[in-house]
Chains A and B, each alone.
Chain A
Amino acid sequence: MAEDLKLMRTWSSPYALRVVHALKIKGLEYETVLEDMTKKSASLLEYNPVHKKVPVLLHNGRPVCESLVILEYIDDVWKQPPLLPQDPNEKAMARFWANFGDDKVMPLTWRVFTSEGKDQEEAIGPMMENLKFLEEQLKGKSFFGGEAIGYTDIAFGWMGNLISILEEIIDLKLVDEEKFPLLSVWINKFSDDPVIKECWPPRDKMVEKFKVIRERYLKQAP
């Protein structure tokens, strides 16, 4: 029997894509509700009054907000296949690295992408330092989760399509194959995985969207 599942998202949000990936891996069917962040629906404001953002997962009409909270919820309710490891210590590591991605890697990548010249140069160093930690985590593993895609892989899933898109726009290699061989392989493996592949939003639309974003930031810069 189908679950009563709805996902409120936008066509491009990387946070929403995490939930799309998780639901796909669990083999769950759901209804998509596409939102426009420039014109938020009354439903979105009702279901996520605190943040007013996507993604929002509605299960039997009850909202769960914040992508990583949603991933844990999905894993709690539908056990197979598991996204988080069973061992408490490994589970802690999976959560730690996902937080690291959101707290450090994503904001630093964003800083590099939305700046130029000296500002950009200064942002690259810290970004590379943090990518080194990720590279180390992949030693001896196909995915952050081990042999199969797991919670941490999904958390870093934004790198699967966004890195190459951002690289194209700023004409700068962010994840160099020589400096980060394991991470480069992971990006390709993740983005080409049959479950993940069909979920990517159209690349040309993404390039267009992020070009506009970068220009806006560069105009604003002092």
Chain B
Amino acid sequence: MEEIPNKLRLYGTEASPYVRRVIWALKIKGIEYDFVQEDLSNKSPSLLRYNPINKTVPVLVHAGKAIAESVVILEYIEETWPDPTPLLPEHPYERAMARFWIAYGDQKQHHVFHSFLACSEEGKEKAAKDLMEMLKIVQDEALGDQKFFGGNTLSLVDLCYGWLTSLKYVERVVGVRVLEPTTLPKLHRWMQDFSEEPLVKENLPDLEAKLPELETLRKHLMSTNK
């Protein structure tokens, strides 16, 4: 494909939550871009050329220069197109808090979520409890009584916890509920409000079709998790 200066291109997949957060950022900011759908079992030469180090999505290419790692991409988008919809607070201390919670989610999410998806039938309750505890910290310490993590408007933190809108699919496959109005009321309310935001709602991932794949993945993880 020819390189067009200043053109924005995003390499990604439908299901990746890390890609999804970048899509939301671009949509919310009204930034136009081309989307290149990757098949991670058969990665394109372009993807491997643009991200030789991690060889994965998302990758954002802007004016021929590639940026990888979703949080790095989000910060880049924020700096390059701050107006009219900033997604980070102006005050350094609040920015630090936003970055802290983004880092917390990404550090914990991968491990706890993975354990949840891979848990045995006997270990289901404990895995759900662990995930709930992690989410309770996020709910109580980061969200509190605010509408969004960013206050009255969306911030990068909301986008980075946006994967919670897809948790219901995993709950279905594992067979236990975690994020409920009874268990995590504020976070559950947040998740619904977030999904209703127009530019988020129009751009939620289509995961219903991915359920069989998710079930297969769970079976595989369960068997290797002995």
Interface residues of A (CB under 8 A from B): 49-50, 59, 62, 64-66, 68-70, 72-73, 76-77, 88-89, 91-93, 95-96, 99-100, 133
Contacts and interface: CB of A to CB of B under 8 A. Distances in A.
Interface residues of B, number: 23
B79 A91 contact: yes
8 contacts: A66-B100, A72-B95, A72-B96, A73-B92, A73-B96, A92-B76, A96-B69, A99-B72
B35 interface: no
B96 A64 contact: yes
A59 B104 CA distance: 21
B141 A50 contact: yes
B137 interface: yes
A99 B18 CA distance: 15
Nearest to B141: A50
Given A72-B95, A76-B92, A64 B72 contact: no
Contacts, number: 59
A77 B95 CA distance: 11
B133 to A, nearest CB: 12
B99 interface: yes
A50 B104 contact: yes
B93 A89 contact: no
A88 B103 contact: no
B25 to A, nearest CB: 14
Nearest to B98: A69
B132 to A, nearest CB: 16
A73 B93 contact: yes
B149 to A, nearest CB: 15
B111 interface: no
- Chain A facing B: main interface SS: helix
A50 B104 CA distance: 9
A88 B79 contact: yes
A92 to B, nearest CB: 4
A95 B72 contact: yes
A69 B79 contact: no
Contact of B67 (A50, A72, A73, A92): A92
A64 B79 contact: no
A150 to B, nearest CB: 16
B10 interface: no
Contacts of B80: 88
Contact of B75 (A77, A92, A133): A92
Contact of B65 (A66, A89, A95): A89
Contacts of B65: 89
Contacts of B95: 72-73, 76
Contacts of A133: 53
B135 interface: no
A97 to B, nearest CB: 9
Given A89-B67, A89-B76, A91-B79, A50 B137 contact: yes
Q: Determine which residue in B65, B73, B75, B92 has the highest number of CB atoms from chain A within 10 A of its CB, and name it.
A: B92
B144 to A, nearest CB: 14
Contact of A96 (B67, B92, B104): B67
B138 to A, nearest CB: 10
A62 B119 CA distance: 39
Given A89-B65, A100-B53, A68 B93 contact: no
Interface string B135-159: 0010001000000000000000000
B68 interface: yes
A93 B99 CA distance: 17
Contacts of A49: 141
B131 to A, nearest CB: 16
B68 A96 contact: yes
